[in-house]
Amino acid sequence: MEAPPRSFIQETYREKALRKFNENPWVPLGVVATCGALITAMVKMRQGDSRSFNRWLRVRVIAQGLTVAAMVGGTYTLGSKNRQSVKGIEEQERLKQAEEKREEDRKAFEERLKEAEEAYEVEKAFEEKRHGARGSEQSRSWSSWFGGGSKGGSS
């Protein structure tokens, strides 16, 4: 028995996070960098260091921008990979359908061939029976087929 497709299996949050991290590792790293810059900015604000506070807020904005850029780039890259895999799947499906059609055509041809061979054998047996029963009547002319007389008989 085959395992159900991956889309039907319920994945946990941890599995989903690991899968997403593997698909696009720059986004989680950008989120960590953004959070780190924000936390550092809050610490500097509580200490009263306004110059450092503003610097860390700028770092946070830059980290956020890079994270968004990573999300867009990852989505584009993942989308192109999915398109390629879909094309590969479509190609496999097309080849499978072509193979199935060839197999159907081959079976239909073999069936027609068998019927033709059987018809030939029946026709051959009929001809042998007809010629065998006539025996000496082989000398009759072709006109006997059309209701004409025989060579030596009465017309």
Q: What is the predicted pLDDT for the residue at 17?
A: 83
The mean pLDDT of the chain is 82
Average pLDDT over residues 15-30: 86
Global confidence as pTM: 0.45
Residue pair 70/23 in contact by the 8 Å Cβ criterion: no
Structure tokens at 100: 């199935």
CA dist 108 to 97, 121, 128, Å? 16, 20, 30
Say whether pLDDT at 155 is over 50. no
Q: What is the predicted pLDDT for the residue at 40?
A: 96
Average pLDDT over residues 35-59: 95
Burial of 34 (0-12, 13-18, 19+ CB in 10 A): buried
Residue 53, C-beta contacts closer than 8 angstroms, at least 6 positions apart: 41, 44, 45
Q: What is the predicted pLDDT for the residue at 104?
A: 93
pLDDT in tens, 88-118: 788 888 889 999 999 999 999 999 999 999 9
CA dist 9 to 2, 27, 82, 85, Å? 13, 25, 19, 20
Structure tokens at 66: 């890079």
For residues 85 and 79, what is the distance between their CA atoms, to the nearest angstrom?
10
For residues 110 and 97, what is the distance between their CA atoms, to the nearest angstrom?
20
**Secondary structure (3-state) at 64:** helix
